[in-house]
């Protein structure tokens, strides 16, 4: 039996998003504090300023969690020709391509691929990952084209593994 090749197709995972989130929070807090210092409201009503800042960060965190679906992101995805080897934290699972029901680029998921399973795995019914080979170009349309190409390729291979479309 020939040895299967394994290629890492994901990058960064949740760690990259969490780091960028906290960096954005720090920048937001610094910006608001600078504005409040120059406006003088921090000296006049410090408690009100600090409470409103915490409320702003709280709302941002809530909507960030809702919009990013960070709990669906996995750490690593390896393409093993006939299966995907997926790791999230200490859980690692090999998912045959025949168990993939659909692969798509979510409309709300920036730079991510969503993989839906026909039968639930220990990782759940769906996983998301950030592809590793996205172009470093700033063009959003090129990135979207690469995401769609990768999703279409995985969909086609999953359909072949299930025997869908074969006569």
* pLDDT per residue as tens digits for the range 14-37: 677 777 777 888 888 888 888 888
Map out the domains of the chain as residue ranges. 13-70, 73-162
Q: Which of 112, 67, 73, 77 is nearest to 97 (CA)?
A: 77
Alpha-carbon span 64 to 52, nearest angstrom? 18
Q: What is the CA radius of gyration of the chain?
A: 21
Q: How far is CA 8 from the centre of its chain?
A: 15
Owner of token pair 């798509």: 104
Binned at pLDDT 50, 70 and 90, residue 115 comes out as very high
| Model pLDDT, residue 12 | 66
Residue 44 scores a pLDDT above 80? yes
What order of strands is seen across the sheet that includes strand 7-8?
A: 7-8, 76-79, 83-88, 91-96
Query: Is pLDDT of 4 > 70?
Result: no
pLDDT at 81 over 80: yes
Distance CA 63, CA 110 (A): 15
How far is the C-alpha of 36 from the C-alpha of 133, rounded, in Å?
42
* pTM greater than 0.85 (yes/no): no
CATH number of 73-162: 2.30.29.30
Assess contact for 84 and 97: CB atoms under 8 A: yes
Task: For 8-47, give one letter per residue: b (16+ CB within 10 A) or e.
Answer: ebbebbbeebeeebeeeeeeeeeebeeebeeeeebeeeee
Q: Enumerate the β-bridge partners of residue 91.
A: 88
Mean of the per-residue pLDDT values of the chain: 84
pLDDT at 116 over 90: yes
Q: What confidence score (pLDDT) does residue 1 get? A: 43
């Amino acid at each position: 039996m020939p040895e299967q090749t394994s290629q890492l197709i994901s990058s960064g995972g949740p760690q990259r998003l969490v780091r960028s989130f906290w960096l954005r929070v720090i920048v937001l807090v610094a910006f608001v504090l600078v504005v409040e210092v120059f406006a003088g409201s921090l000296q006049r009503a410090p408690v009100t300023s600090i409470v409103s800042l915490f409320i702003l960060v709280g709302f941002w965190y809530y909507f960030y969690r809702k919009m990013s679906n960070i709990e669906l992101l996995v750490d690593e995805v390896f393409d093993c020709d006939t299966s995907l080897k997926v790791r999230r934290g200490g859980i690692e699972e090999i998912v045959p391509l025949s168990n993939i029901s659909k692969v798509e680029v979510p409309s709300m998921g920036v730079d991510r691929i969503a993989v839906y399973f026909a039968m639930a795995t220990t990782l759940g019914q769906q996983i998301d990952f950030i592809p590793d080979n996205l172009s470093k170009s700033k063009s959003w349309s090129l990135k979207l084209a690469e995401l769609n190409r990768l999703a279409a390729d995985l969909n086609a291979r999953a359909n072949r593994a299930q025997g869908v479309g074969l006569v």
